[in-house]
Structures are given as structure tokens and as C-alpha cells.
Amino acid sequence: MALEIERKYLVHKERFQPAGLVRKEIVQGFLSRSRDIVCRVRLVDRKGFLTVKARVDGSATTRQEFEYPVPENDAREMLALCEVGVSKIRYLYPVGNFTWEIDVFGGDLAGLILAEIELEHESDPYELPDFIDRDVTGDPAYLNSNLARPGFLQGA
């Protein structure tokens, strides 16, 4: 079983400086989403991926994750099947033994910046960059599948 152990944080916009960081353009949509399982299609620059994520025993940090590459044209056609989607620029920010993924959202979510870190084990120690605001791990408002729902964040 493939596991994703992830922590998620809001970012202080004024403190985050992306200059010089590796940058990726991401567009994603959700073919299926429920409280416990989502099926996502994503374009990262020009590479397509299909991903299934499932909650693990109610954990806020750990999910099963199965991700597969798909041809770019197939990913674009699947994105067209999605009701709504999310666009963002992802920056990679290395700190110690980990690399933070900083997502700067566009479209209706412009102004939102989230930072994620993937861990090997839930108990792994890690450093918080100075631009971290607050922990939103486990807050359903900040799951990408919910961010793709118009107006969902305003209700959080």
C-alpha cells in the first residue's frame, strides 16, 4: 500500500519570497470526490497524472495514494470532464532533510498560499520555515478537492 503522510500549513504572503525556487505550473480537477476517496487528474507543466487518494482510519495526516502517469492529451480531456478545477504555481523549498511544496493558488483562490511537507513517518521531526502561519492539517476546507468547490473556503 502506498502511503502519503503530509502536514499542511497556511503561509504568510508577505514573508514568502519565491525568487530562485524551482517552479511548476499545476492544473487539476476531480473526477470523483467523497469524504474518504478522491480521484484527481493533474497536469504538472505538460505531464499528466491520475491519482486516487483514500483516508486511512480517520487520520488527518496519512492517506493511501496511488498515482499514475497518463499522456498529456488524455489528462487534458479528463480535465474537461471535471466540473471545476484548481490552478496553482508550486514552488519547491528545501529545508533540512525535507522539501516543502508551496502552492500559490490562482483563479477564484488567488491570494491563498499553502505549504505542504511529506514525511516518512508521522513522528518525523521537521523545521518550520519562517513564512509558516498556522497548521491546517486535517481541516477539510484546505483539501484541494474541497478548494475546487466554488465558495467552499468562505464557509470555513
The full 3-state SS of the chain, as one line of letters, equals CCEEEEEEEEECCCCCCCCCCEEEEEEEEEEEECCCEEEEEEEECCEEEEEEEEECCCCCCEEEEEEEEECHHHHHHHHHHCCCEEEEEEEEEEECCEEEEEEEECHHHCCCEEEEEEECCCCCCCCCCCCEEEECCCCHHHCHHHHCCCCCHHHC
Structural domain harbouring 58: 3-155
**Consecutive 10-residue runs of the chain (156 residues): their mean pLDDT?**
91 95 97 91 97 88 95 97 92 95 94 96 94 95 87 56
Domain count, the chain: 1
**Which CATH number characterizes residue 66's domain?**
2.40.320.10
Q: Output the pLDDT for position 156.
A: 47
pLDDT of residue 58: 74
pLDDT of 154: 56
